[in-house]
Every structure is written in C-alpha cells, then in structure tokens.
Amino acid sequence: MKILNRTYNDSRRTFLKSSAALGGGLMLELSLSLNALADTTGSKTFSPNAWLRISPDNIVTVIVDKSEMGQGVYTSMPMLIAEELDADWPKVKMESAPAAKEYFHPWFGIQGTGGSTSVRAMWKPLREAGAAARAMLVSAAAQEWKVDAATLRTENSFVIAPDGKKLSYGQLADKAALMPVPKEPKLKDPKEFKIIGKATKRLDTPEKINGTAQFGIDAKLPGLLTAVVARSPVVGGKMLSFNADKAKAIKGVRAVMAVKNPTAEGVAVLADNFWAAKQGRDALEVKWDEGSNAKLNSADLLKTMTALAQAKTGEVKTAKKEGDVATAKSAKTIEATYSVPYLAHAAMEPMNCTAWVKSDSCELWVGSQTQTVDQMVAAQITGLPPEKVKVNTMLLGGGFGRRFAPDFVVEAVTLSKAANAPVKVVYTREDDTKGFYYRPAAVCHMRGGLDANGAPTLIYARTACDSLADGSGFESALVNKEGIDTTAVEGLAEMPYAVANKQTDWARHSPGVRTWFWRSVGNTQNIFFAESFIDELASAAGKDPYEYRRALMDKHPRHKAVLELAAQKAGWGTPLPAGRARGIAVAESFGSYVAEVAEVSIENGKPKIHRVVIAADVGMVVNPDTVVAQMEGAMVYGLTAALYGDISFKDGKVEQNNFHDYQMLRMNEMPKVEVHLVKSAEAPGGGGEPGTPPIAPAVTNALFKLTGKRIRTLPIKV
C-alpha cells in the first residue's frame, strides 16, 4: 500500500462557496422535466422519468432523491408517485438516487435534503411523474386493445377495460416505454386520494429492525483503513508540529499524516480498525497555535452580546418595521432580555464518510444531506470531473442540519487520495461534540408597550447573534438585499400578533465560532424570545396568556386555529393537580403552524414535564403517522435543548465532551405526548422541524405560572 504525504489547502469560505453555490444561486428555479432519464427504447423495463421504474414482474421501484434520516421520505416520496400512478402499494419498492443533476432540488438548485422541504418541494413534481407514467400505460393498453384511452381506468397496477379485462403494468411495460411522455399530465383531485393521507407503514422499518439497514458508519470495503483525526481544540487553530512515534507503535496503525483542508487542520491516524486508529490518535503529541480564539470565553461572549442587544445605539440592520416604535404612546412599558447558548446537533450516529479515490474515479459512501456538495468537493480535491464521483447515499443516523456540512467528506477524500486506499473517517462522540458546527448563541432584548386596557401598542426586538449563512455557500438564499441573514431574525420578525408598531433589529456579532443549521434554524431561539415576551405582556396586562394571544390573531387564522385546538385538547383553564401548571406557545415555521401546551411541575428542584399537547397544521398530509412521529421527535429535540443544551467555551476550548455533560432527555423524563393534526386543504408545509420551536417557551411560561419567576435564559434553571 502506498502512503503519500499530501496536503490539501484552500480558504474555507472560498471552498464552501464554490462547492455549494454551484454557479451563482441556490434558489435556482429548476424545471424537473418528466422526460429526465426516460427510457424510450422499448426495453422490458418501463422507466418514464428519473424517479420511476416498472419491471415485467409488476414491481414499481421509486427512486428517492432525498436522504432518509428518520423523517420518513423513503415512504412519503413513493406515496406521492404511487397515488397518481394507481400503483399496488405492497409491490412498491424504493431505491436511493445517485448524485445527478436530474435530482436537483427544485428550490435549492442542488441535490439536498433540509429545511423541511421534501414533501413541500416534491408534492407536484413526483405526482406529475406518477401521473405521466399512468397516462403512458393507459395509452399502451388502448393501443393494444384498439380502444379509446378515455374508456379505461387504472387500479392496483392494472389498466382495466369497461368489460373487465385487464393488463398489469408489468405486462404493458415494454409498450408503455414507446408512448410519448405527457407534458402536463392531469393530477387527481385530493378527494380521489387512496394512498396520500392514509397512515402507512414505513418502507425502511423492516431493515432497521432486522439489522440489515446500512448507515454511513456501516460501510465496509476490502483494504479499508479507518481514520481518526486530531483537530485543533480551538476553532481556527493551526498545527505547528506533531510527534507520531507513540501512535505508530500502536498495533494496527498504518500511517500518520497531516491534514490541511478548508474546514480544519489536524493529524490523521489511519489504522486497520477504529479502535487502533483512536488509540493512535490519543497517543499523538501535537503542538497547536491556538490563535486569537484561545481567549474565547462564554461569560465574556454573553456580556458582549447582551451589551449589543441592550444598546440604544450602534450598528444594526432593521429586518422588519411597521409603524414607529419610537413615537408610540404607552401607558406601561415592559422590557426583558433573553439569551440562549451554542448548541450541538448531537446526532446519534457521529459524523463519518468512506471514500475510495482511484486514478480515474472517486466513490463515496456517506450519510449526507447534500449529495451535490459532496460530489463537487470530491471533484475539487481529486481533480476529477464531477461525473466521475459517485455518491452512495447511506441512511443517516440523525442529520438535523449537521450533515449539510462537508467537513467529514473533505477529510475522507483527502486521506484516501493521500493513502491510495479506501479510507473511512469517523468522528468520536467527543470529536462531534467539540466540532464547532453549532447553532448560534444569541441574546435578544425586547421592549413592549401596553395601553390602559392592556392591549399592546408596540413590540421592539433587538437580537445579537452571528450569521450562520456567512461562509456556508448558501448566502444567496439566506442573506437578503439589505445584508440581513434571514435565519438570524426568522420567527421574530414575523410575530403574528396585531400590534400597530413593531420593529426587529439585528446586531451581528461574530466571535469566530463556526455556526451552522440546527433543527428549525433561527426559529429555535427566536420563538423562545417572542413567545416568552408575549406571555410577559399578557401577565403585565393581567390577562390569560391563551386568551391574550387569541385576541391578537384575527389576521392569522392558521395560527389561531392551532392555538385554539391545542388549548382545547389540553383542557386549558380546567383544574390541575396541586403543584402543576400549563404554559402555551405558538409558531409558524417552514410553512407549518404549531401550538404546544406543556403541563409542568417542579420535582426535587428540577422541572418535570408531565404532558405536552401539540396541535399542528401542516397543510395536506401525505403520511399522518410520519407527521405525528416528527412532531413528537421535534418536540423532544427542543425540550432536550431547553432543559440541558449548552455548548460553552473556556479559554477557547469547548467544555462539553459526551452525553454525560451534553445531556439528552432520558426515557424516564419523557412526557406523555398528544399530537392533533388540523385537516387542511392548504399546500403541504414542513414536518420535520416545526415541532421544535414552541416547546421551550411553553415550558418556561408554565414555570412562571408555578413560581412567579421568569426564565429568560436557556437551558432552564429554576
């Protein structure tokens, strides 16, 4: 085996921009042609487009271009096609799509999964793909029987004539492949749906139960080396030197090499297995230049951001302005400052990627949320054209936005090229926790005014936080023409309450920590700020917090509907056992509307959440079981962060290491959860993220009712 001493270097910002932006704009309006990859050769298999294949044995295979990370796309995407195709659902199977332009996200302009957009973006394209295939099959049968196609119907993968004779889709496959592809196939009226909207067992469940499911970390290849990398303990740190003698003495260690890439510098230990690589990495002696970030401390950061948020002057950008908060008259003024820390994604499967770089090709096995970026970064590192880079999308053991970043792919490709062998890079849990791709810390100062009747006359919010868009490659999609990173203010600038004078300002503070997309992105902190403050206004007005919100929502009927449903199902206003209280919060994010009521007590000096009632309007629902599961999971994710989530810095280093000090919600802490879905004819909204933002304020608002003390800083301390 040949080991090369090769390094790769580039500026992180340039690298990420060039690899992710792909030609100048992520919000590319892309038309997904129904002719894409269509097979019109008359082969025995019918492949009318990039998403569908019907074989002579009547098996319908749907090619899914979204990544499965627990949200259910390996089932919901096939359901969209199967509905319009009138397929026999038990004979529907799925395959993961390769990285190819035919699978570019219609909103992002790259192939990727995130932003709770899978169903929203593919609702029409995949239904059209199924409808087009159905029309071609009907045309083939009409030609075979020499009848008018309009007289035929379809059901359970058969074309059926008025006299009852029928042909299976498999029997028609070769003839259907010769039919013209309809440009605008007719779609069903939702009243005709037989699959969409019905609770459906997930196609990926059996293999996850029997252990055959393949996640990224499960990749195995002949001659595979496992790499564990020593990275700077301080973000942006540079490696000065290293001594590998002790590492090389570990049995199974094959090589030690420097890694210099756009995401981090470090030293990689390559070994026959993970344990040998980890032992070797731990035995390394590395000297670091920690740079200016060695002075970073969370206490100092909080002081700085608080000063920025509370300042009456200073540089800010105004994200939203209605009326004039400066001149609005109020009988009473309320002010409050809120803060949240950095948060790690803490996916159950730590980051990993397997790469095999050869002279004329590169192949990746990776759980990724963005196949196009992975393909492009691999092409840049290897010098190969993108079409020579094959991406095998594995199951993701949790994504939450973290697997949108390419750092683990960069390292795997770099090391495989240098080692002239297949290499699997694996982050330990500690590597992952200390990995710097965090939800931004934020501080928000809010000021409100009330008239003599307690109605709000103004709401002013000034938030201080970093821009996670900067340097990510997604600036064109996330930074508006005023230079505002929209993720910094989302959920705060769009408060749904009827207030004549509203303004949201953003004061940017960039301490040098790499921030990234976290489940529900900016809504996580901003809904906590907004829904905590509206509760404070209700209290100052002497009003019930549910009724106060409800009275201000006449122009936002979908917000109001979920608020009312959650309150009704939770029994708002009915007596509770002694020592318990309810709190409520509502939010819109990713096109969906969610209200949550938390029933809370304090036990042994800590909050105990007994029950959470969730009301959600996600528009038209594809698979109700999946939506319910996602609402439950998203709530637990947000509750975990509210109770425990805190990434802190001392002398530039992250203080947390593993689940003992970056704690997850335990099974014995799990509340009873009820999810109620609003029946809606609106276009589908997101399902994976909207359940996260309301839970923190729902809990803290309940705790205020119990204790009379406002909790304005997360994680919760009572």
User: Torsion over CA of 18, 20, 24 and 27, rounded to 10 degrees?
Assistant: -170
Q: Is the pTM of this model over 0.85?
A: yes
CA–CA separation, 333 and 661 (whole Å): 40
- Structure confidence at residue 59 (pLDDT): 97
> What does the pLDDT read at residue 15?
40
Amino acid symbol at 465? C
Instruction: Give the DSSP H/E element, type plus range, for residue 47.
Output: strand 46-49
Please state, in angstroms and rounded to a whole number, the distance separating the CA atoms of residues 548 and 542.
Answer: 9
**Alpha-carbon dihedral sign for residues 376, 381, 386, 389:** negative
Q: Which amino acid is at 556?
A: H
By the 10 Å C-beta count (0-12 exposed, 13-18 middle, 19+ buried), 671 is classed as: buried
DSSP string of 99-143?
S-GGG--TTTSSS---TT-HHHHHHHHHHHHHHHHHHHHHHHHHH
Amino acid at 514: R
Place of tokens 């028609």: 172
Q: Low-confidence residues of the chain, pLDDT below 70? A: 1-43, 262-264
* C-alpha dist (Å) from residue 383 to 2, 126, 419: 19, 35, 16
- ∠ CA 143-148-153 to the nearest 5 degrees? 95
Residue 473 is predicted with a pLDDT of 86
Please give the biggest Cα pair distance in the chain: 82
Q: Say how far residue 160 (Cα) sits from the centre of its chain.
A: 43
Q: How far apart are CA 193 and CA 409, in angstroms?
A: 41
Sign of the CA dihedral 246, 247, 253, 256? negative
How many other C-beta atoms can be found within 10 angstroms of the C-beta atom of residue 679?
8
Residue 263: the pLDDT is 64
pLDDT for the residue numbered 472:
87
Burial classification of residue 459, based on how many CB atoms lie within 10 Å of its CB (0-12 exposed, 13-18 middle, 19 or more buried)? buried
pLDDT score, position 26: 29
Cβ of 378: how many Cβ atoms within 10 Å?
32
What angle separates helix 624-643 from helix 523-541, to the nearest 10 degrees?
70
Distance CA 128, CA 122 (A): 10
Nearest-angstrom CA–CA distance, 275 and 277: 5
pLDDT score recorded for residue 611: 98
Dihedral sign computed on CA atoms, order 329, 331, 337, 338? negative
What are 522's two structure tokens?
Answer: 């900016």
- How far does Cα 133 stand from its chain's mean position? 31
Residue 321 identity (one-letter amino acid): K
Element (H, E) at 612: strand 606-617
Say how far apart CA 353 and CA 274 lie, in whole Å.
13
What are the counts of helices (DSSP H) followed by strands (DSSP E) for the chain? 17, 27
DSSP state of 363: E
Q: How far apart are CA 228 and CA 353, in angstroms?
A: 11
Where b means 16+ CB within 10 Å and e means fewer, 13-35 reads eebbbbbbbbeeebebeeebebe
DSSP symbol at 500: S
Q: What is the pLDDT of residue 19?
A: 43
Report d(CA 323, CA 333) in Å as an integer: 17
**DSSP secondary structure letters along 398-455:** --TTGGGS-HHHHHHHHHHHHHTS-EEEE--HHHHHTSS-BBPPEEEEEEEEE-TTS-
What sign for the dihedral angle of Cα 73, 74, 77, 83? negative
Report the amino acid identity of residue 173: A
Cα–Cα distance measured from residue 406 to residue 112, given in angstroms and rounded to the nearest whole number? 12
